[in-house]
Chain A
């Protein structure tokens, strides 16, 4: 019960951070994704079975908060949780040595997957592909997003690690 409340608060905090804090601090043109990185951190720490339900909860709440069609972020977070758990079961994932490189790879891959899925949803909604390739396919923007996401991920990773160690 305690864990459920704490995780719900963390998800709400991530949504607030993403909608009302990062756009002003980092700038509107290239943002990191605090909610995506939270789901990634949960998937790395808790594994697929435990993180699946939290990925769905985070997706539903994020869709509500961003006025998007219910399901868009759920699918993105679900795929992230699955892909990460698929590889982390087979490879050693930790914040040192080659594990760190693997984590950075996860961050880059999830950022790109998220961008492309969002672009697909927008293309389906607008019936136009013209602007999405410029906006989501920009290499410099993606590199900046991956860097921002890496910082956000390690903040979440440490925070959840500490909470699990000291409170849960």
Chain B
């Protein structure tokens, strides 16, 4: 018996069974205090490492893109001229919108209390499922709070929270489901992630019209997600596998791996 227990295969099998059972039972809550202490110790080191790697990555990208700068500059100049015209038109529409909102006594939009946070780590499996930020429950974060960049582009929502750090479940995570609508046609549905392969706009009624290029924003139905946060642009539309609904691929304007800072919407002003 002693000979058997000292063999390698016995040791490996025993430990594998023990941890296999641990996975099945999944006592996540019981081990959270230990995990939190470890994450708290690691958080400052992660922040330093992330900042260093972001600077290295930034220098590399700049060197690689010098040749493209002239072309991009010309393109941006022409886009800028177009946007100037659009801006004037939008200012007029905003005034009109404000008038109508005050008449209907609706709350102002985009008036969120934002908490800035630094990204300190990302999904190590390259799946784009989550990232970690340096703010936690001590800063008032709770599970489900929306996470944005540029004040209104949705990135994901807060998942697990420790006292000094939090996991952000990204839109590309299949566990992330958000109610959305298109701004042009008002077609409603939900978006969900596909493991870093993209975002799918699903459950669109066959009678609703969705086209490539349509902008997708949050519809504000359910949960803590406010209305009007930009999600992305529709790329292609196709019927769902059961042909009951339509589905569309959505392209987000942000590249998660390049981000350094995000904002958490912690409430309304």
Contact = CB atoms under 8 A, between A and B. Distances in A.
Interface string B8-32: 1101100110011011001110010
Contact of B124 (A25, A66, A75): A66
A20 B126 contact: no
A100 interface: no
Contact of B12 (A12, A15, A78): A78
A2 interface: no
Contacts of B12: 78-79, 82
Interface in B34-68: 34-35, 38-39, 42, 45-47, 49-50, 52-54, 56-57
A28 B122 contact: yes
B195 to A, nearest CB: 4
B16 A78 contact: yes
B57 A25 contact: yes
A16 B42 contact: yes
B4 interface: no
Interface in B42-101: 42, 45-47, 49-50, 52-54, 56-57
B236 interface: no
Given A78-B16, A82-B8, A126-B174, A23 B124 contact: yes
- The interface centre, meaning the residue of B39, B160, B257 with most chain A CB atoms within 10 A of its CB, is B257
Interface in A44-76: 48, 52, 56, 59, 61, 64-67, 69-72, 74-75
B22 A20 contact: no
Interface residues of B, number: 52
Interface in B119-145: 120-128, 130, 132
B163 to A, nearest CB: 15
B42 A15 contact: yes
Nearest to B169: A67
A71 B53 contact: no
A118 B123 CA distance: 13
A29 B160 contact: no
Given A28-B122, A67-B130, 11 more contacts: A20-B47, A24-B53, A24-B56, A25-B53, A28-B126, A35-B124, A48-B8, A64-B35, A69-B23, A126-B175, A134-B197
12 contacts: A21-B50, A23-B122, A23-B257, A24-B54, A24-B257, A25-B53, A28-B128, A28-B257, A29-B128, A31-B124, A70-B27, A78-B16
